[in-house]
């Protein structure tokens, strides 16, 4: 860790202690003013967006690796992400020093014109999808989730299939339908087949679900034919974001055998707008679950490779005045960590590229109130969850809004991810 992680740091910008974006965070995203304008790279501090392109134009990044690169004027984070960890750390340090309380009379804090131009209320901006995502891989890395699903669908067999404890299971998802948080979700149509029906039928999905996930965004990628070792994997990770991988369970039940999810997952995957770097998460590094049997050599970490990130799921129906917490979990419940996922993904020589998204799979925990999907919370649609206004849900209805939240709790501050939200619309 370095000076940017000091828990005593405070900014000259007013930041509430429960804000997701204190000076210790320094996330990265893409925004434009609500009134229109160019897309720029920004960070967040409290309730404000700080435009890094304007700071760069003012010479505040002179002498760093980004001088003359125009990376903050790009419409996505990809150019910045491709620069590698050394550059990311250097940029973070410059931003941290500009925002510190003792810098209130410095190059940014004392420059009224620049401050008024670059520091913009979040109420006055529109966030954009932060990354141009070329490929999307969805893992299945929560032992509790996989066990719950196995118990529901194979009640007379072993919950976990024989390979699950030996490798991080995954499938390739659809990158084109990864969408920004806040984008509405149109209920999909497809083939379904009731257990007692003689043939499938076509219609609207009646078992629409959410999945609480965390997304890993790849920074500088590897070359084709070059495997990434498990202990070097984090050098390829730019940061993390919340992911809701919406799922049409009734479509999935009919189509997934023998190959896996297709139409049940390709209609929408929501991504939160701010990417939280591994540097911001470093103080919250922790060990994951004990792995038994011991993984093969190429999957063995020699250091702690997960983080203590609190996760929550909120649901609001059209008849509710506010959203309601329906489940909570933690990123460190995942059995297979991000380094193992990357090592396994690339062991064949597969080349990960800047902007690739690797989602964790549904993150469930050990308790009934730690389940990361409606499938589990309602236990295969047999036990509806009861909401504060008297509504009940086994799956999502039109008009329902799901919000995912995540944060790490520090000493007097929190590192938050912002909201990842979506509202269900009737089918077209």
Which residues is 211 bridged to in the sheet?
Answer: 373
Peptide linkage before 68 cis (omega within 30 of 0): no
What phi-psi label fits residue 88: left (phi over 0), alpha (psi between -120 and 50 degrees) or beta? alpha
Q: How far is CA 379 from CA 360, 364, 400, 401, in A?
A: 21, 13, 19, 21
| Residues 6 or more apart whose Cβ sits within 8 Å of residue 207 | 248, 249, 250, 253, 381, 395
Q: Do 16 and 5 form a contact (C-beta atoms < 8 A)?
A: no
Question: To 5 degrees, how large is the angle CA 280–CA 281–CA 283?
Answer: 100
60/417 Cα distance (integer angstroms): 26
CB atoms within 10 A of CB 389: 12
426/428 Cα distance (integer angstroms): 7
Q: Do 271 and 215 form a contact (C-beta atoms < 8 A)?
A: yes
Residue ranges with strand state E in 245-284: 247-248, 269-271, 276-277
Q: Where are the alpha helices (DSSP H) in 225-373?
A: 249-255, 278-281, 338-346
250/192 Cα distance (integer angstroms): 6
Closest CA to 333 of 139, 145, 137: 145
What is the radius of gyration, based on Cα positions, of the chain?
Answer: 22
Q: Where are the alpha helices (DSSP H) in 205-335?
A: 249-255, 278-281
Which residues is 100 bridged to in the sheet?
Answer: 11
Which residues form the catalytic set? 145
DSSP designation for 163: T
Q: Do 277 and 27 form a contact (C-beta atoms < 8 A)?
A: yes
Tell me whether residue 33 is exposed, middle or buried, using C-beta atoms within 10 angstroms of its C-beta: 0 to 12, 13 to 18, 19 or more.
middle
């Amino acid at each position: 860790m370095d000076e940017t992680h000091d828990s005593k740091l405070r900014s000259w910008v007013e930041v509430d202690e429960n804000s997701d974006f204190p000076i210790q965070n320094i996330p990265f995203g893409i925004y434009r003013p609500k009134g229109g304008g160019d897309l720029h790279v920004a960070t967040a501090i409290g309730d404000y967006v700080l435009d890094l392109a304007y700071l760069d134009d003012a010479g505040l990044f002179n002498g760093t690796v980004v001088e003359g690169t125009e990376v903050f004027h790009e419409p996505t984070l990809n150019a910045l992400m491709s620069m590698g960890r050394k550059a990311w750390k250097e940029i973070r340090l410059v931003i941290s020093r500009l925002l510190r309380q003792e810098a209130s009379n410095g190059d940014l804090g004392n420059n009224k014109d620049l401050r008024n131009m670059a520091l913009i209320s979040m109420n006055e901006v529109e966030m954009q999808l932060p990354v141009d995502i070329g490929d999307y891989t969805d893992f299945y890395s929560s032992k509790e989730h996989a066990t719950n699903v196995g118990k529901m669908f194979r009640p007379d067999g072993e919950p976990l299939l024989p390979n699950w404890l030996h490798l991080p299971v995954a499938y390739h998802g659809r990158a084109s339908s990864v969408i920004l948080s806040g984008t509405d979700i149109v209920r999909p149509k497809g083939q379904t087949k009731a257990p007692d029906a003689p043939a499938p039928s076509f219609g609207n999905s009646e078992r629409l679900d959410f999945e609480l996930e965390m997304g890993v965004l790849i920074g500088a990628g590897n070359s084709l034919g070059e495997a990434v070792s498990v202990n070097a994997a984090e050098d390829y990770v730019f940061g993390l974001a919340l992911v809701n991988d919406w799922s049409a369970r009734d479509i999935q039940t009919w189509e997934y055998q023998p190959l896996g999810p297709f139409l049940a997952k390709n209609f929408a995957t929501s991504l939160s707008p701010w990417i939280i770097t591994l540097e911001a998460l470093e103080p919250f590094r922790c060990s994951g679950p004990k792995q038994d049997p011991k993984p093969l050599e190429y999957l063995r970490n020699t250091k702690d490779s997960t983080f203590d990130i609190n996760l929550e799921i909120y649901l609001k129906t059209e008849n509710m005045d506010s959203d309601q917490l329906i489940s909570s979990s933690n990123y460190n419940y995942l059995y297979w960590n991000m380094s193992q996922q990357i090592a396994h993904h690339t062991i064949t020589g597969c080349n990960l590229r800047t902007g690739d998204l690797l989602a964790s799979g549904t993150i469930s925990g050990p308790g009934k109130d730690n389940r990361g999907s409606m499938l589990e919370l309602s236990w295969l649609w047999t036990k509806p969850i009861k909401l504060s206004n008297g509504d009940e849900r086994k799956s999502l209805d039109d008009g329902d809004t799901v919000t995912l939240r995540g944060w790490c709790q520090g000493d007097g501050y929190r590192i938050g991810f912002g909201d990842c939200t979506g509202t269900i619309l009737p089918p077209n």
